[in-house]
């Protein structure tokens, strides 16, 4: 979320990757450009910090300069359930250093969101040709959505067929990391990398004014204090199912948690 969030990723991600011995690192970057969208230069920053794949969401196209870049960078994803023919990719297969293949899928919910294709139907089509333990050794789903009910329903719908479903979009880490009955890891929202002395990453005065007065005011801008990095740590077994899922929180204000390895 904005410059402070990018600074937190750049500061903490290299150390976390080494400490956690991460085989793959996925970063949602859709609010990284001044709080809305992403640019090519910011993509390069995030890759240099250690990301293998970048996901987005409903603000994927907010910075117009990024639009043609989506077709040039297969590792920068937009939600897979945009209409057929939309530029860019909704999925990417990352190959680890030891040759394992990890499919990363970016999907987006529809409750209180853009009226795009049904993510449940689209995921069904995707998984007809992408089988866990056959074509790939793990499948990670970034499900970008507003409603926790929709996120939970998607995770249960995909249970046993993907390694993990991790929610993004609401900017606050949820305390519900769990392994579902079929072996799929789930968290309703991983939380933002941003300044938590804010209103979901935005300087407080403007949203408070909007709630109080319901009248237009200045544009919302990202809070620029020291940011906290939030994420999720996942381990899988030989079948690609989740055996461990924990939050990652590093920075001020929130209770910190780094999984022990």
Record the pTM. Answer: 0.96
Q: Write the pLDDT tens digit of every residue in 129-177.
A: 999 999 999 999 999 999 999 999 999 999 999 999 999 999 999 999 9
Q: Write the pLDDT tens digit of every residue in 8-57.
A: 999 999 999 999 999 999 999 999 999 999 999 999 999 999 999 999 99
Buried residues in 231-257 as b, exposed as e (16+ CB within 10 A): bbbbbbeeebbbeebbbbbbbeebeee
Please give the pLDDT value at position 249: 98
Strand locations in the chain (E):
26-28, 53-55, 91-95, 101-108, 138-144, 164-168, 178-179, 185-187, 229-236, 242-250
Q: Pick the closest to residue 180 from 160, 200, 151 (CA basis).
A: 160
Rounded alpha-carbon distances, angstroms, from residue 41 to 7, 29, 33, 44, 48: 14, 12, 10, 5, 11
Q: Say if CB 146 and CB 169 are below 8 A apart.
A: yes
- Give the integer Cα–Cα distance in Å for 220 and 235: 38
- Show me where the domains of the chain are located: 79-250
Rounded alpha-carbon distances, angstroms, from residue 120 to 84, 94, 142, 201: 15, 23, 13, 29
Written as six digits, the tokens of 232 are 């999720």
Please give the pLDDT value at position 216: 78
- Give the integer Cα–Cα distance in Å for 37 and 243: 33
Average pLDDT, the chain: 97
pLDDT band at 218 (very low <50, low <70, confident <90, very high): confident
Please give the pLDDT value at position 217: 83
Q: Say if CB 24 and CB 6 are below 8 A apart.
A: no
Q: Decide if pLDDT at 242 tops 90.
A: yes
Q: Say if CB 185 and CB 163 are below 8 A apart.
A: yes
Select which of 59, 94, 144, 169 is catalytic: 59
SS3 state at 33: coil
In sequence order, which residues have a C-beta less than 8 Å from that of residue 86 and are 6 or more positions away?
A: 78
Task: Given CATH 3.60.21.10, say whether it is the number of domain 79-250.
Answer: yes
DSSP state of 155: H
59 is catalytic: yes
């Amino acid at each position: 979320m904005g410059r402070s969030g990018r600074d937190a990723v750049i500061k903490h991600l290299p150390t976390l990757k080494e400490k956690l011995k991460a085989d793959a690192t996925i970063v949602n970057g859709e609010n990284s450009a001044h709080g809305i969208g992403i640019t090519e230069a910011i993509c390069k920053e995030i890759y240099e910090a250690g990301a293998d794949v970048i996901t987005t969401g409903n603000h994927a196209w907010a910075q117009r300069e990024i639009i043609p870049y989506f077709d040039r960078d297969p590792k920068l994803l937009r939600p897979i359930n945009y209409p057929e023919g939309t530029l860019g990719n909704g999925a990417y297969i990352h190959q680890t250093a030891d040759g394992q293949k990890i499919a990363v899928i970016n999907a987006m919910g529809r409750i209180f969101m853009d009226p795009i294709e049904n993510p449940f139907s689209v995921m069904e089509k995707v998984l007809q040709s992408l089988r866990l333990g056959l074509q790939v050794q793990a499948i990670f789903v970034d499900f970008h959505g507003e409603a926790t009910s929709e996120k939970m329903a998607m995770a249960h719908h995909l249970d046993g067929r993907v390694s993990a479903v991790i929610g993004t979009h609401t900017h606050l880490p949820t305390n519900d990391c769990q392994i579902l009955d079929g072996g799929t890891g789930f968290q309703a929202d991983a939380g933002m990398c941003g300044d938590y002395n804010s209103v979901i990453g935005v300087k407080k005065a403007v949203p408070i004014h909007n709630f109080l007065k319901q009248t237009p005011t200045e544009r919302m801008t990202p809070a620029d204090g020291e940011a906290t990095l939030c994420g999720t740590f996942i381990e899988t077994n030989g079948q690609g199912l989740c055996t461990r899922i924990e939050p990652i929180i590093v920075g001020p204000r929130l209770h910190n948690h780094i999984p022990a390895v």
